[in-house]
Structure 1
Amino acid sequence: MVVEIILKTVHMKNIIALLVLSVVIGCAEKTPSILAQNSELCRSILINPEESYNHEYDLKLSIEDAGNNQYRLVSVIDFHNGAFTASPLSNNDFKGLFNIALKENDKVTMDDAFEEIPRSVEEIDWFGNFVNWVRELTTYKRTLNIKSQEDFKVSGMVSFTIEPTCTFEEIPFDVFYEDGKLWVQQYPKLDKSTCDIPVLWVSMYDSPLIDYDIAMKHPYDVEFKVEQRTDCQFKMVTEMKLHGGSFNVSPLTETGFKGKFRIEVAPNDDLTIGTELLEIPQSETVIDKHPFVNGPVNWVTEDTKYEHPLILHTQEDFSIGGKIIFVIEPKCTLETIGVLFKYKNGVL
Protein backbone atom coordinates (compact mmCIF):
# COMPACT_ATOMS: atom_id res chain seq x y z
CA MET A 1 0.00 0.00 0.00
CA VAL A 2 1.40 3.40 -0.95
CA VAL A 3 1.52 5.86 1.92
CA GLU A 4 1.72 9.60 1.59
CA ILE A 5 0.63 12.64 3.55
CA ILE A 6 -0.22 16.02 2.13
CA LEU A 7 0.91 19.19 3.80
CA LYS A 8 -1.92 21.67 3.76
CA THR A 9 -0.49 24.68 5.51
CA VAL A 10 3.11 25.19 6.49
CA HIS A 11 2.78 27.85 9.16
CA MET A 12 -0.34 29.40 10.68
CA LYS A 13 0.91 31.36 13.64
CA ASN A 14 -1.28 32.61 16.42
CA ILE A 15 0.05 34.45 19.43
CA ILE A 16 -1.57 33.62 22.73
CA ALA A 17 -2.07 36.87 24.60
CA LEU A 18 -1.94 35.07 27.90
CA LEU A 19 1.64 34.02 27.25
CA VAL A 20 2.99 37.22 25.76
CA LEU A 21 4.78 38.10 28.97
CA SER A 22 7.13 35.15 28.54
CA VAL A 23 8.69 36.94 25.57
CA VAL A 24 9.91 39.60 27.94
CA ILE A 25 11.35 36.98 30.24
CA GLY A 26 12.91 35.11 27.34
CA CYS A 27 14.55 38.27 26.03
CA ALA A 28 16.06 39.25 29.35
CA GLU A 29 19.75 38.95 30.12
CA LYS A 30 20.51 35.29 30.70
CA THR A 31 22.55 33.51 33.35
CA PRO A 32 24.19 30.08 33.10
CA SER A 33 21.88 27.15 33.75
CA ILE A 34 22.59 25.18 36.91
CA LEU A 35 20.64 22.03 37.64
CA ALA A 36 19.71 22.10 41.31
CA GLN A 37 18.49 18.77 42.56
CA ASN A 38 19.05 16.45 45.47
CA SER A 39 22.45 15.43 44.09
CA GLU A 40 26.13 16.34 43.92
CA LEU A 41 25.38 18.98 41.30
CA CYS A 42 22.96 20.82 43.54
CA ARG A 43 25.20 20.55 46.59
CA SER A 44 28.11 22.04 44.66
CA ILE A 45 26.77 25.55 45.26
CA LEU A 46 27.03 25.15 49.02
CA ILE A 47 29.73 27.08 50.87
CA ASN A 48 31.81 23.95 51.34
CA PRO A 49 30.75 21.14 49.00
CA GLU A 50 33.22 18.78 50.66
CA GLU A 51 31.44 19.02 54.00
CA SER A 52 28.94 16.33 54.98
CA TYR A 53 25.56 16.98 53.36
CA ASN A 54 23.39 15.52 56.10
CA HIS A 55 23.93 18.34 58.61
CA GLU A 56 22.54 21.45 56.97
CA TYR A 57 20.76 22.72 60.08
CA ASP A 58 20.05 22.16 63.77
CA LEU A 59 16.57 22.64 65.20
CA LYS A 60 15.50 22.68 68.86
CA LEU A 61 12.00 23.03 70.33
CA SER A 62 11.09 24.28 73.80
CA ILE A 63 8.19 25.82 75.76
CA GLU A 64 8.03 29.26 77.39
CA ASP A 65 5.41 30.03 80.08
CA ALA A 66 3.70 33.34 79.28
CA GLY A 67 1.17 33.18 82.15
CA ASN A 68 -2.67 33.14 82.15
CA ASN A 69 -2.79 29.69 80.54
CA GLN A 70 -0.70 30.93 77.64
CA TYR A 71 2.58 29.44 76.50
CA ARG A 72 4.93 29.96 73.61
CA LEU A 73 6.20 27.13 71.46
CA VAL A 74 9.77 28.13 70.65
CA SER A 75 11.72 26.80 67.67
CA VAL A 76 15.38 27.73 67.20
CA ILE A 77 16.93 26.85 63.84
CA ASP A 78 20.60 27.26 62.95
CA PHE A 79 22.03 26.71 59.47
CA HIS A 80 25.32 25.16 58.32
CA ASN A 81 27.37 25.18 55.13
CA GLY A 82 25.35 27.87 53.34
CA ALA A 83 21.93 26.24 53.78
CA PHE A 84 18.81 28.39 54.12
CA THR A 85 15.00 28.28 54.08
CA ALA A 86 12.03 30.57 53.42
CA SER A 87 10.48 32.52 56.27
CA PRO A 88 6.79 32.07 57.18
CA LEU A 89 6.61 35.88 56.88
CA SER A 90 7.21 35.65 53.12
CA ASN A 91 4.39 37.31 51.23
CA ASN A 92 3.74 34.47 48.78
CA ASP A 93 2.19 31.00 48.59
CA PHE A 94 5.38 28.91 48.53
CA LYS A 95 4.66 25.41 49.81
CA GLY A 96 8.00 25.05 51.60
CA LEU A 97 7.82 28.00 54.00
CA PHE A 98 8.94 27.34 57.56
CA ASN A 99 5.88 26.24 59.52
CA ILE A 100 4.84 24.89 62.91
CA ALA A 101 1.49 23.11 63.11
CA LEU A 102 -0.59 21.15 65.60
CA LYS A 103 -3.09 18.42 64.81
CA GLU A 104 -6.67 19.56 65.20
CA ASN A 105 -7.79 19.13 68.80
CA ASP A 106 -9.88 20.72 71.56
CA LYS A 107 -7.14 20.85 74.22
CA VAL A 108 -4.74 23.51 72.98
CA THR A 109 -4.83 26.05 70.15
CA MET A 110 -2.04 27.95 68.45
CA ASP A 111 -2.25 31.56 67.26
CA ASP A 112 -1.65 32.20 63.58
CA ALA A 113 1.00 34.87 64.14
CA PHE A 114 4.72 34.05 64.02
CA GLU A 115 7.29 35.98 66.03
CA GLU A 116 10.61 35.84 64.14
CA ILE A 117 13.91 36.87 65.77
CA PRO A 118 15.81 38.41 64.01
CA ARG A 119 13.21 39.59 61.51
CA SER A 120 13.98 38.43 57.95
CA VAL A 121 14.10 40.90 55.07
CA GLU A 122 12.18 40.56 51.83
CA GLU A 123 14.27 40.12 48.69
CA ILE A 124 13.86 38.93 45.10
CA ASP A 125 14.82 35.33 44.34
CA TRP A 126 16.33 33.88 41.13
CA PHE A 127 12.91 33.69 39.48
CA GLY A 128 11.74 37.21 40.28
CA ASN A 129 9.58 36.20 43.25
CA PHE A 130 9.52 38.17 46.49
CA VAL A 131 10.61 36.01 49.41
CA ASN A 132 12.12 36.33 52.89
CA TRP A 133 15.13 34.02 52.97
CA VAL A 134 16.41 32.91 56.37
CA ARG A 135 20.15 32.19 56.43
CA GLU A 136 21.18 32.79 60.05
CA LEU A 137 20.30 31.41 63.47
CA THR A 138 16.64 32.34 63.93
CA THR A 139 14.06 31.90 66.69
CA TYR A 140 10.35 31.41 65.99
CA LYS A 141 7.65 31.70 68.62
CA ARG A 142 3.96 30.86 68.41
CA THR A 143 1.49 31.37 71.22
CA LEU A 144 -0.31 28.33 72.65
CA ASN A 145 -3.64 28.70 74.50
CA ILE A 146 -4.62 25.95 76.94
CA LYS A 147 -8.31 24.99 76.68
CA SER A 148 -8.35 22.09 79.13
CA GLN A 149 -7.04 21.55 82.65
CA GLU A 150 -6.92 17.80 82.14
CA ASP A 151 -3.71 16.05 81.15
CA PHE A 152 -3.32 15.66 77.40
CA LYS A 153 -0.94 14.98 74.54
CA VAL A 154 -1.20 16.69 71.15
CA SER A 155 1.01 15.90 68.16
CA GLY A 156 2.53 18.50 65.87
CA MET A 157 5.02 19.02 63.04
CA VAL A 158 7.72 21.50 62.11
CA SER A 159 8.12 21.57 58.34
CA PHE A 160 10.13 23.54 55.79
CA THR A 161 12.13 23.12 52.59
CA ILE A 162 15.87 23.38 53.14
CA GLU A 163 17.75 24.99 50.28
CA PRO A 164 19.69 24.68 48.06
CA THR A 165 19.37 20.90 48.32
CA CYS A 166 15.59 21.21 48.05
CA THR A 167 14.55 18.61 50.61
CA PHE A 168 11.29 18.92 52.49
CA GLU A 169 12.07 18.53 56.18
CA GLU A 170 9.46 17.29 58.67
CA ILE A 171 10.27 17.16 62.39
CA PRO A 172 7.47 15.63 64.48
CA PHE A 173 6.85 16.53 68.12
CA ASP A 174 4.33 16.01 70.93
CA VAL A 175 3.05 18.66 73.32
CA PHE A 176 2.28 17.24 76.79
CA TYR A 177 0.23 18.84 79.58
CA GLU A 178 0.78 17.03 82.86
CA ASP A 179 0.15 18.20 86.43
CA GLY A 180 -0.44 21.77 85.27
CA LYS A 181 2.81 21.96 83.27
CA LEU A 182 3.26 22.10 79.52
CA TRP A 183 6.31 20.61 77.83
CA VAL A 184 7.37 19.42 74.37
CA GLN A 185 9.03 16.25 73.16
CA GLN A 186 10.90 16.52 69.86
CA TYR A 187 11.56 13.50 67.64
CA PRO A 188 14.04 12.81 64.79
CA LYS A 189 13.11 14.21 61.41
CA LEU A 190 11.17 12.05 59.00
CA ASP A 191 13.26 10.51 56.23
CA LYS A 192 11.36 12.10 53.40
CA SER A 193 12.39 14.15 50.33
CA THR A 194 10.34 16.12 47.83
CA CYS A 195 13.12 16.36 45.24
CA ASP A 196 12.96 13.00 43.52
CA ILE A 197 12.23 15.18 40.47
CA PRO A 198 15.22 17.35 39.49
CA VAL A 199 14.77 21.08 40.00
CA LEU A 200 16.03 23.64 37.48
CA TRP A 201 18.00 26.15 39.50
CA VAL A 202 17.72 28.53 36.54
CA SER A 203 14.43 28.37 34.66
CA MET A 204 14.43 27.46 30.98
CA TYR A 205 13.00 30.94 30.39
CA ASP A 206 16.16 32.44 31.90
CA SER A 207 18.68 30.09 30.30
CA PRO A 208 21.05 31.53 27.67
CA LEU A 209 20.10 31.11 24.02
CA ILE A 210 22.61 29.75 21.53
CA ASP A 211 21.61 32.36 18.95
CA TYR A 212 18.93 34.89 19.82
CA ASP A 213 18.27 36.01 16.23
CA ILE A 214 17.78 32.46 15.01
CA ALA A 215 15.58 31.61 18.01
CA MET A 216 13.32 34.53 17.12
CA LYS A 217 13.34 34.28 13.30
CA HIS A 218 13.75 30.55 12.55
CA PRO A 219 13.31 28.62 15.80
CA TYR A 220 12.45 25.22 14.32
CA ASP A 221 11.82 22.99 11.32
CA VAL A 222 9.18 20.26 11.22
CA GLU A 223 9.13 17.28 8.88
CA PHE A 224 6.59 14.47 8.94
CA LYS A 225 5.58 11.34 7.08
CA VAL A 226 3.44 8.24 7.44
CA GLU A 227 4.96 4.80 7.94
CA GLN A 228 3.36 1.39 8.10
CA ARG A 229 3.54 -0.44 11.41
CA THR A 230 4.05 -4.15 11.84
CA ASP A 231 0.42 -4.59 12.94
CA CYS A 232 -0.82 -3.39 9.50
CA GLN A 233 -1.76 -0.06 10.99
CA PHE A 234 0.09 3.21 10.41
CA LYS A 235 2.00 5.78 12.37
CA MET A 236 2.72 9.45 11.79
CA VAL A 237 6.41 10.22 12.29
CA THR A 238 7.14 13.86 13.09
CA GLU A 239 10.67 15.19 13.39
CA MET A 240 11.12 18.47 15.25
CA LYS A 241 14.44 20.27 14.80
CA LEU A 242 15.10 23.15 17.20
CA HIS A 243 17.39 26.07 16.37
CA GLY A 244 19.14 28.79 18.34
CA GLY A 245 18.34 27.34 21.77
CA SER A 246 14.57 27.22 21.25
CA PHE A 247 12.48 24.75 23.24
CA ASN A 248 8.92 23.51 23.69
CA VAL A 249 6.78 21.50 26.08
CA SER A 250 6.75 17.75 25.51
CA PRO A 251 3.44 15.90 25.04
CA LEU A 252 4.64 13.66 27.90
CA THR A 253 4.17 16.55 30.33
CA GLU A 254 1.47 15.41 32.74
CA THR A 255 0.32 18.86 33.83
CA GLY A 256 -2.20 20.80 31.78
CA PHE A 257 -0.06 22.96 29.50
CA LYS A 258 -2.21 24.28 26.66
CA GLY A 259 0.83 24.80 24.45
CA LYS A 260 2.45 21.37 24.69
CA PHE A 261 3.23 19.53 21.46
CA ARG A 262 0.24 17.62 20.10
CA ILE A 263 -1.41 16.39 16.90
CA GLU A 264 -5.16 16.70 16.42
CA VAL A 265 -7.64 15.59 13.75
CA ALA A 266 -11.05 17.09 13.11
CA PRO A 267 -13.96 15.19 14.70
CA ASN A 268 -14.74 12.16 12.52
CA ASP A 269 -15.54 8.45 12.59
CA ASP A 270 -12.89 7.28 10.15
CA LEU A 271 -9.47 8.16 11.56
CA THR A 272 -8.15 8.60 15.11
CA ILE A 273 -4.73 9.19 16.63
CA GLY A 274 -3.71 6.59 19.18
CA THR A 275 -2.55 7.45 22.68
CA GLU A 276 0.62 5.31 22.66
CA LEU A 277 2.97 8.15 21.81
CA LEU A 278 6.70 7.50 21.35
CA GLU A 279 9.17 10.35 21.91
CA ILE A 280 12.81 9.86 20.83
CA PRO A 281 14.86 10.79 22.82
CA GLN A 282 12.41 10.82 25.69
CA SER A 283 12.35 14.05 27.67
CA GLU A 284 12.78 14.10 31.44
CA THR A 285 10.44 15.62 34.01
CA VAL A 286 11.93 18.54 35.92
CA ILE A 287 10.64 21.18 38.32
CA ASP A 288 10.72 24.66 36.80
CA LYS A 289 10.00 27.34 39.40
CA HIS A 290 9.33 30.11 36.92
CA PRO A 291 5.92 31.73 37.63
CA PHE A 292 4.63 30.58 34.22
CA VAL A 293 5.30 26.96 35.24
CA ASN A 294 5.96 26.60 38.99
CA GLY A 295 5.84 22.83 38.87
CA PRO A 296 6.76 19.70 36.91
CA VAL A 297 7.30 19.95 33.15
CA ASN A 298 9.04 18.03 30.36
CA TRP A 299 11.04 20.55 28.35
CA VAL A 300 12.19 19.52 24.87
CA THR A 301 15.54 21.19 24.17
CA GLU A 302 16.99 19.00 21.42
CA ASP A 303 15.97 17.57 18.04
CA THR A 304 13.20 15.06 18.73
CA LYS A 305 11.15 12.51 16.81
CA TYR A 306 7.53 11.69 17.66
CA GLU A 307 5.62 8.62 16.54
CA HIS A 308 1.81 8.77 16.80
CA PRO A 309 -0.29 5.71 15.89
CA LEU A 310 -2.87 6.33 13.15
CA ILE A 311 -5.91 4.10 13.41
CA LEU A 312 -8.22 3.56 10.41
CA HIS A 313 -11.86 2.72 11.15
CA THR A 314 -13.08 2.41 7.55
CA GLN A 315 -12.07 1.36 4.06
CA GLU A 316 -14.15 4.13 2.50
CA ASP A 317 -12.48 7.16 0.95
CA PHE A 318 -12.15 10.22 3.19
CA SER A 319 -10.46 13.60 3.57
CA ILE A 320 -9.89 14.74 7.14
CA GLY A 321 -8.15 17.86 8.34
CA GLY A 322 -5.65 17.88 11.18
CA LYS A 323 -3.14 20.12 12.95
CA ILE A 324 0.26 19.96 14.61
CA ILE A 325 0.13 22.39 17.53
CA PHE A 326 2.75 23.63 19.98
CA VAL A 327 4.08 26.81 21.57
CA ILE A 328 7.69 27.53 20.65
CA GLU A 329 9.73 29.16 23.39
CA PRO A 330 11.12 31.63 24.25
CA LYS A 331 9.54 33.30 21.22
CA CYS A 332 6.20 32.37 22.77
CA THR A 333 4.14 31.89 19.61
CA LEU A 334 1.48 29.25 19.15
CA GLU A 335 2.49 27.30 16.04
CA THR A 336 -0.27 25.61 14.04
CA ILE A 337 0.70 23.48 11.05
CA GLY A 338 -2.28 22.26 9.03
CA VAL A 339 -2.38 18.72 7.70
CA LEU A 340 -4.84 17.01 5.37
CA PHE A 341 -5.24 13.24 5.71
CA LYS A 342 -6.61 11.73 2.49
CA TYR A 343 -7.63 8.12 1.98
CA LYS A 344 -8.65 7.16 -1.58
CA ASN A 345 -8.63 3.83 -3.35
CA GLY A 346 -6.73 2.22 -0.47
CA VAL A 347 -4.06 4.91 -0.34
CA LEU A 348 -3.59 7.08 2.79
Structure 2
Amino acid sequence: MKNLILSFCLLLFISCKIDSSKTETASTDSVFVQIAKSEPRNLTVYGPKLQENPYELKLETHTLSNGIYDLEMKMYLYHDAYYASPNEKKDLKGKFTFVVANNDFFTLENNLIETPLSAEKHDYYSSDYDPKWIRDNTSYKQKLEITSEEDFEVRGHIQFTIEPRCTLEKIPVFIKYEKGVMKFEIDGC
Protein backbone atom coordinates (compact mmCIF):
# COMPACT_ATOMS: atom_id res chain seq x y z
CA MET A 1 0.00 0.00 0.00
CA LYS A 2 2.86 2.36 0.84
CA ASN A 3 4.48 1.65 -2.52
CA LEU A 4 1.23 2.46 -4.30
CA ILE A 5 0.83 5.79 -2.48
CA LEU A 6 4.50 6.65 -3.02
CA SER A 7 4.22 5.84 -6.74
CA PHE A 8 1.07 7.96 -7.04
CA CYS A 9 2.74 10.95 -5.31
CA LEU A 10 5.81 10.62 -7.55
CA LEU A 11 3.63 10.47 -10.66
CA LEU A 12 1.67 13.51 -9.48
CA PHE A 13 4.87 15.45 -8.80
CA ILE A 14 6.34 14.66 -12.22
CA SER A 15 3.13 15.49 -14.07
CA CYS A 16 2.74 18.84 -12.27
CA LYS A 17 6.25 20.05 -13.04
CA ILE A 18 6.09 23.12 -15.30
CA ASP A 19 8.72 23.52 -17.98
CA SER A 20 9.46 27.24 -18.28
CA SER A 21 10.86 26.85 -21.79
CA LYS A 22 7.53 25.66 -23.22
CA THR A 23 4.95 28.15 -24.36
CA GLU A 24 1.30 27.73 -25.04
CA THR A 25 -0.54 29.21 -27.97
CA ALA A 26 -3.94 30.74 -27.44
CA SER A 27 -6.09 31.66 -30.39
CA THR A 28 -8.79 34.28 -30.63
CA ASP A 29 -10.60 34.42 -33.98
CA SER A 30 -7.71 35.53 -36.20
CA VAL A 31 -5.10 36.64 -33.61
CA PHE A 32 -2.49 34.28 -32.10
CA VAL A 33 -0.78 35.20 -28.85
CA GLN A 34 2.11 33.35 -27.25
CA ILE A 35 2.38 33.52 -23.48
CA ALA A 36 5.27 31.92 -21.63
CA LYS A 37 3.97 29.72 -18.82
CA SER A 38 6.57 30.97 -16.34
CA GLU A 39 5.77 34.67 -16.82
CA PRO A 40 2.93 36.16 -14.76
CA ARG A 41 0.07 37.62 -16.73
CA ASN A 42 -0.73 41.29 -16.21
CA LEU A 43 -3.97 41.44 -14.28
CA THR A 44 -5.98 44.52 -13.50
CA VAL A 45 -6.78 44.75 -9.81
CA TYR A 46 -9.88 46.69 -8.82
CA GLY A 47 -10.58 48.23 -5.44
CA PRO A 48 -8.95 50.71 -3.08
CA LYS A 49 -5.19 51.15 -3.10
CA LEU A 50 -3.95 50.02 0.30
CA GLN A 51 -1.43 52.14 2.14
CA GLU A 52 2.02 50.67 2.70
CA ASN A 53 2.31 52.27 6.13
CA PRO A 54 -0.17 51.56 8.91
CA TYR A 55 -0.72 55.30 9.47
CA GLU A 56 -0.48 58.72 7.87
CA LEU A 57 0.21 61.97 9.73
CA LYS A 58 -0.87 65.37 8.40
CA LEU A 59 -0.13 68.72 10.06
CA GLU A 60 -2.09 71.97 9.75
CA THR A 61 -2.04 75.44 11.29
CA HIS A 62 -5.18 77.41 12.14
CA THR A 63 -5.15 81.10 13.12
CA LEU A 64 -7.47 81.74 16.09
CA SER A 65 -6.62 85.40 16.73
CA ASN A 66 -3.64 87.72 16.60
CA GLY A 67 -0.68 85.68 17.87
CA ILE A 68 -2.75 82.61 18.87
CA TYR A 69 -2.78 79.48 16.72
CA ASP A 70 -4.00 75.91 16.79
CA LEU A 71 -1.51 73.31 15.65
CA GLU A 72 -3.47 70.34 14.33
CA MET A 73 -2.10 66.81 13.97
CA LYS A 74 -4.33 64.43 12.01
CA MET A 75 -3.67 60.69 12.37
CA TYR A 76 -5.13 58.38 9.71
CA LEU A 77 -4.94 54.67 10.53
CA TYR A 78 -4.83 51.75 8.07
CA HIS A 79 -4.73 47.94 8.32
CA ASP A 80 -6.24 47.79 11.86
CA ALA A 81 -3.38 49.84 13.32
CA TYR A 82 -3.76 51.53 16.72
CA TYR A 83 -1.82 53.46 19.36
CA ALA A 84 -2.26 54.72 22.94
CA SER A 85 -4.11 57.96 23.61
CA PRO A 86 -2.29 60.87 25.27
CA ASN A 87 -5.19 60.85 27.75
CA GLU A 88 -4.34 57.33 28.98
CA LYS A 89 -3.96 57.21 32.80
CA LYS A 90 -1.54 54.29 32.82
CA ASP A 91 2.15 55.04 32.44
CA LEU A 92 2.69 53.75 28.90
CA LYS A 93 5.91 54.68 27.11
CA GLY A 94 4.26 54.65 23.68
CA LYS A 95 1.49 57.19 24.26
CA PHE A 96 0.94 59.81 21.57
CA THR A 97 3.02 62.85 22.61
CA PHE A 98 3.98 66.19 21.09
CA VAL A 99 7.28 67.64 22.32
CA VAL A 100 9.01 70.92 21.36
CA ALA A 101 12.29 72.40 22.54
CA ASN A 102 12.19 75.04 25.26
CA ASN A 103 12.11 78.47 23.72
CA ASP A 104 11.33 82.15 24.36
CA PHE A 105 9.20 82.58 21.23
CA PHE A 106 5.92 80.91 22.18
CA THR A 107 4.08 78.95 24.87
CA LEU A 108 1.92 75.89 24.45
CA GLU A 109 -1.42 76.36 26.19
CA ASN A 110 -3.24 73.44 27.86
CA ASN A 111 -2.87 69.81 26.77
CA LEU A 112 -3.55 68.16 23.44
CA ILE A 113 -7.25 68.17 22.58
CA GLU A 114 -8.26 64.81 21.10
CA THR A 115 -11.16 64.50 18.64
CA PRO A 116 -12.99 62.14 18.83
CA LEU A 117 -12.23 61.53 22.48
CA SER A 118 -11.09 57.98 23.30
CA ALA A 119 -12.97 56.02 25.94
CA GLU A 120 -11.97 53.43 28.50
CA LYS A 121 -13.20 49.92 27.83
CA HIS A 122 -13.80 47.77 30.88
CA ASP A 123 -13.37 44.02 30.80
CA TYR A 124 -16.58 42.51 32.17
CA TYR A 125 -14.76 39.46 33.52
CA SER A 126 -12.17 41.29 35.62
CA SER A 127 -11.61 44.60 37.36
CA ASP A 128 -8.94 45.61 34.85
CA TYR A 129 -9.59 47.93 31.96
CA ASP A 130 -7.99 48.17 28.56
CA PRO A 131 -5.89 51.24 27.92
CA LYS A 132 -7.38 54.01 25.82
CA TRP A 133 -6.41 52.73 22.39
CA ILE A 134 -6.95 54.94 19.36
CA ARG A 135 -8.32 52.75 16.56
CA ASP A 136 -10.04 55.43 14.46
CA ASN A 137 -8.82 58.45 12.53
CA THR A 138 -8.20 61.10 15.16
CA SER A 139 -7.04 64.71 15.25
CA TYR A 140 -5.16 66.54 18.00
CA LYS A 141 -5.05 70.28 18.53
CA GLN A 142 -2.44 72.15 20.53
CA LYS A 143 -2.99 75.84 21.22
CA LEU A 144 0.10 78.01 20.75
CA GLU A 145 0.53 81.64 21.80
CA ILE A 146 3.40 83.71 20.37
CA THR A 147 5.31 85.66 23.05
CA SER A 148 7.96 87.29 20.84
CA GLU A 149 8.00 89.75 17.96
CA GLU A 150 10.94 87.96 16.26
CA ASP A 151 10.83 85.39 13.48
CA PHE A 152 11.72 81.91 14.73
CA GLU A 153 12.07 78.23 13.92
CA VAL A 154 11.68 75.70 16.74
CA ARG A 155 12.12 71.95 16.33
CA GLY A 156 10.30 69.17 18.11
CA HIS A 157 8.83 65.74 17.47
CA ILE A 158 5.66 63.68 17.60
CA GLN A 159 6.12 60.28 19.20
CA PHE A 160 3.95 57.18 19.63
CA THR A 161 4.12 53.40 19.37
CA ILE A 162 2.13 52.05 16.43
CA GLU A 163 0.54 48.68 17.05
CA PRO A 164 0.39 45.82 16.15
CA ARG A 165 3.72 46.53 14.43
CA CYS A 166 5.06 47.55 17.88
CA THR A 167 7.47 50.22 16.64
CA LEU A 168 8.26 53.51 18.32
CA GLU A 169 7.61 56.26 15.78
CA LYS A 170 9.46 59.54 16.34
CA ILE A 171 8.56 62.08 13.66
CA PRO A 172 10.62 65.30 13.61
CA VAL A 173 8.61 68.49 13.12
CA PHE A 174 9.29 72.21 13.12
CA ILE A 175 7.28 75.31 13.94
CA LYS A 176 8.34 78.31 11.91
CA TYR A 177 7.13 81.89 12.13
CA GLU A 178 8.43 84.19 9.41
CA LYS A 179 7.07 87.54 8.27
CA GLY A 180 3.73 86.94 9.98
CA VAL A 181 3.23 83.43 8.53
CA MET A 182 3.07 80.39 10.80
CA LYS A 183 4.16 76.98 9.48
CA PHE A 184 3.87 73.62 11.24
CA GLU A 185 5.43 70.87 9.14
CA ILE A 186 7.17 67.52 9.23
CA ASP A 187 10.93 67.96 9.08
CA GLY A 188 12.07 65.99 6.05
CA CYS A 189 15.77 66.21 6.96
So what's the TM-score if we normalise by structure 1? 0.35
Tell me the residue number matched to 2:171: 337
How many angstroms does 1:218 deviate by?
A: 1.3
What residue identity is the alignment partner of 1:235?
D
1:297-345: CA deviations, max 9, x gaps?
2110011111111121211121110111111001011111111111222
State the SS of the aligned residue for 2:102: coil
Q: How many matched pairs?
A: 131
Match status 1:317 vs 2:151: yes
Query: Conserved in 1, the CA contact under 8 Å of 2:67 and 2:146?
Result: no
Query: Conserved in 1, the CA contact under 8 Å of 2:75 and 2:138?
Result: yes
Tell me the residue number matched to 1:301: 135
Q: CA RMSD of the aligned region, Å?
A: 2.6
Tell me the residue number matched to 1:272: 107
1:85-133: CA deviations, max 9, x gaps?
xxxxxxxxxxxxxxxxxxxxxxxxxxxxxxxxxxxxxxxxxxxxxxxxx
Distance in 1 (alpha carbons) for counterparts of 2:177 and 2:66: 19
Tell me the residue number matched to 2:27: none
Aligned sequence identity (%)? 33
State the SS of the aligned residue for 2:148: coil
How many angstroms does 1:217 deviate by?
A: 4.6
Q: Which runs of 4+ in 1 moved over 3 A?
A: 214-217
Specify whether residues 228 and 274 from structure 1 end up closer, same or farther in structure 2 by C-alpha distance, changes over 3 A only.
Answer: same
How many angstroms does 1:230 deviate by?
A: 4.7
Structure 2: segments with no counterpart, 5+ residues = 1-48, 183-189
Tell me the residue number matched to 1:253: 88
What residue identity is the alignment partner of 1:284?
A
Distance in 2 (alpha carbons) for counterparts of 1:281 and 1:324: 19
Specify whether residues 239 and 252 from structure 1 end up closer, same or farther in structure 2 by C-alpha distance, changes over 3 A only.
Answer: same
Query: Conserved in 2, the CA contact under 8 Å of 1:264 and 1:273?
Result: no
How many angstroms does 1:287 deviate by?
A: 4.4
Specify whether residues 332 and 215 from structure 1 end up closer, same or farther in structure 2 by C-alpha distance, changes over 3 A only.
Answer: farther
Q: 1:222 aligns with which of 36, 54, 57?
A: 57
How many angstroms does 1:283 deviate by?
A: 0.6
Distance in 2 (alpha carbons) for counterparts of 1:320 and 1:287: 40
Distance in 2 (alpha carbons) for counterparts of 1:274 and 1:256: 22
Query: Conserved in 2, the CA contact under 8 Å of 1:235 and 1:308?
Result: yes
How many angstroms does 1:215 deviate by?
A: 10
What residue identity is the alignment partner of 2:134?
V
Query: Conserved in 2, the CA contact under 8 Å of 1:216 and 1:331?
Result: no
Tell me the residue number matched to 2:181: 347
Distance in 2 (alpha carbons) for counterparts of 1:230 and 1:254: 33
Structure 1: segments with no counterpart, 5+ residues = 1-213, 289-293
